[in-house]
Amino acid sequence: MDSGRESYHRLLWIDFSKSPVAPPLGSNWVVLSATSLAEAEQLLKQGPVPVGTFLLHPHMLDILPTLETFLHHHSDTEWVAQVEPHLLWDNRIREFLRQCCHDFHSLPIDPYRLEVVLGHAAGMAQLLHSTTADTRRHNTPLIGESPTMIQVMKTVKKVARVAAPVLITGESGTGKELAARAVHDESPRADGPFEAINCAAVPASLIQSELFGHERGAFTGAHKARAGRVQAANGGTLFLDEIGDLPLEVQAALLRFLQNQTVQKVGSDHEETVDVRVVAATHVDLEAAVHSGRFREDLFYRLDVLRFEMPPLRERGHDASLLARHFFQTFSTDRSRPVKGFSSTAMEAICNHHWPGNVRELINRVRRALVLSENRFIQPADLGLSDILTAGSRHASLETIRADAERQAILNALQICEGNVSAAARRLDVSRITLYRLARRHEIMISGQETSGTKLPTSP
């Protein structure tokens, strides 16, 4: 395969309708259009196409099995379905999307959202094809060089070795799912399946059968028996995202499964044994949910065996700029006036922004800047961050600026010294005791002291 970055923006656009729509995409995409599977087949024969998308209309339910075979046959391409929203309630479509597609976009087309989804698919294709199958499995895809992220990566490796459940906490968009995948990839189960389910995204009435499957006729619309996600994860890992949103009755079933490694389909009277490792994630405080009666205490203790937190992006020092450069590379285009990179003020804005939406927000801002920027180098305004620098310089008191600089200097020193407190203290020309005191003041946690802020690793 051509290893050039541009080649990842080759896109196959399949529209089966009589009057196909013109793809509303930026010129960064090299679009190959097809109106039938035969035409698509011909185009795919001419060379690899990393991303493919097709419009799924209701009249196509009949050809779903043919489409499924076609997509499986071309599984080197990352497929994105464009679907009429009401079709998403059809179990066949849901299963089809889950089995055959990288992602889906609900119609009508929203060019910006569609570009984001296709961009992710292109990024994923690049990631998958630029590494061999072997190194892919053993390389964590988490990017970061800050002490907090290095600590996360070490923790991932440690927890991957054991079979106990893992609980990943952290704000939305910090990379909890990515970390869960890394746990799976580093574990002895790496060759098994990784099944992810977002408990908040599935309607409460469907989640039990989604997780554990159902027998034919178990409820209205259950035309045939189906295995659940737990069974699908047999031999691998089940990732339960937003576990705090699981309804109480499903929590009871999940607890039984965690205790016995057995599942019972909805409408069935017998249990099946499965071998599944559970990784759960939450952005809400599960302990508080237990106190308020929204989450079962016994389930909480079952899940909370190995816990780690994904730090918010604002606590990862220069990782924000590292990630910005990474996503810039991923989504960069071959436009006639290509954007070359970030201006120094844009980088400053990236480092100063609070990132409430974490890495997901960063991805979106970089993508938007790449599409909208009229400049050779991305400016703060292209990122929607022009206020940051001016607001920062207008309102921040000298004391705040000094405190920020002190905190950043400590984080940098610890990062450079790989968490070695003595070396970092020497570098900053302060005593170890002073460094511990300052770290406590700035809520930077170094092992051996108790604060609730940023956690940093220490060398032995």
For ligand ATP, the binding residues in 260-299 under the rule CB under 6 A are 281, 283
CB 81 within 8 A of CB 53: yes
Examine residue 359 and tell whether it contacts ligand ATP (CB under 6 A). yes
Residue nearer to ligand ATP on the CB measure, 359 or 370 = 359
Cα–Cα distance, 458 to 418 (Å, whole number): 7
For ligand ATP, the binding residues in 303-342 under the rule CB under 6 A are 310
Q: Which window, 25-33, 40-48, 140-148, 426-434, contacts ligand ATP (CB under 6 A)?
A: 140-148
Residue nearer to ligand ATP on the CB measure, 153 or 274 = 153
Among 43, 127, 178, 206, binds ligand ATP (CB under 6 A): 178
Question: DSSP for 340-379?
Answer: -EE-HHHHHHHHH---TTHHHHHHHHHHHHHHH--SSEE-
Interior/surface letters 276-289, b for 16+ CB within 10 angstroms, e for the rest:
bbbbbbbbbebeeb
CB 189 within 8 A of CB 231: no
Residue nearer to ligand ATP on the CB measure, 325 or 427 = 325
Examine residue 363 and tell whether it contacts ligand ATP (CB under 6 A). yes
Residue window 226-265: x/- pattern of binding to ligand ATP, with contact defined by CB under 6 A: ---------------x------------------------
- Mapping DSSP to helix (H, G, I), strand (E, B) and coil, where does residue 51 land? strand
Q: What type of residue is 453?
A: G
Among 23, 52, 147, 175, binds ligand ATP (CB under 6 A): 175
Examine residue 144 and tell whether it contacts ligand ATP (CB under 6 A). yes
Examine residue 200 and tell whether it contacts ligand ATP (CB under 6 A). no
CB 296 within 8 A of CB 247: no
| Rg of the chain in Å (alpha carbons) | 24
Cα–Cα distance, 292 to 295 (Å, whole number): 8
Cα–Cα distance, 218 to 225 (Å, whole number): 8
**Least distance between ligand ATP and beta carbon 22 (Å):** 28
Residue nearer to ligand ATP on the CB measure, 120 or 189 = 120
Examine residue 143 and tell whether it contacts ligand ATP (CB under 6 A). yes
Residues binding ligand ATP (CB under 6 A): 142-144, 170, 172-178, 241, 281, 283, 310, 359-360, 363
